[in-house]
């Protein structure tokens, strides 16, 4: 997905099993972030950093949604353990991650494999991609998003 493209709509289950659609959020900005796996060091750091910034998103009526291939049960445990106040959606076959172009070749210990590259999309009130942030850093992703939203983005 690229800037100015219509964001790919989806229907995924949240931690409680409720179906959430991107189109449910038309009329408000959406920060949609893709991450590899619940309860891993980087993903935990990123989720907790978003939690620490969550009041900003609430005050500005911005929906915050995290997506990984983890199960709803895993999301429940992850959200409860870290008291995450935002939506986590389950994309078990990475179909939505692939539609957004965030499943790419990764290397670990000299081996190549396909996996989710940590990426964030800012979607405008009309459902179009406003900003794409690729290969984001877990601890600074939320502050980078807020800097962009406040017009202080350096990139």
Rounded CA separation 71/56 (Å):
28
Look up 48 and say whether it is catalytic: no
Cα–Cα distance, 92 to 37 (Å, whole number): 11
Alpha helix (H) residue ranges in the chain: 41-52, 54-59, 72-82, 95-99, 141-149
* Cα–Cα distance for residue pair 65/24, rounded to 1 Å: 12
3-state secondary structure of 23: helix
Pick the catalytic residue from 1, 30, 32, 43. 43
β-partners of residue 116 are 103
Going by the DSSP 8-state scheme, the letter that residue 100 receives in this structure is T
Catalytic residue list: 43
């Amino acid at each position: 997905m690229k800037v100015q493209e219509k964001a790919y709509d989806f229907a995924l289950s949240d931690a409680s099993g409720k179906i959430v659609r991107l189109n449910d959020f038309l009329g408000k900005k959406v920060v949609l972030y893709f991450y590899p796996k619940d309860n891993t060091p980087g993903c935990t750091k990123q989720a907790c950093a978003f939690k620490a910034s969550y009041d900003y998103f609430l005050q500005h009526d911005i929906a915050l949604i995290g997506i990984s291939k983890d199960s709803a049960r895993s999301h429940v445990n992850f959200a409860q353990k870290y008291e995450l106040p935002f939506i986590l959606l389950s994309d078990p076959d990475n179909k939505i991650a692939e539609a957004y172009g965030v499943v790419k070749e990764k290397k670990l210990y000299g081996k190549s494999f396909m996996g989710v590259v940590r990426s964030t999309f800012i979607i405008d009130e009309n459902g179009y991609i406003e900003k794409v942030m690729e290969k984001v850093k877990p601890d600074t992703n939320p502050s980078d998003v807020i800097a962009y939203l406040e017009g202080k983005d350096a990139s």
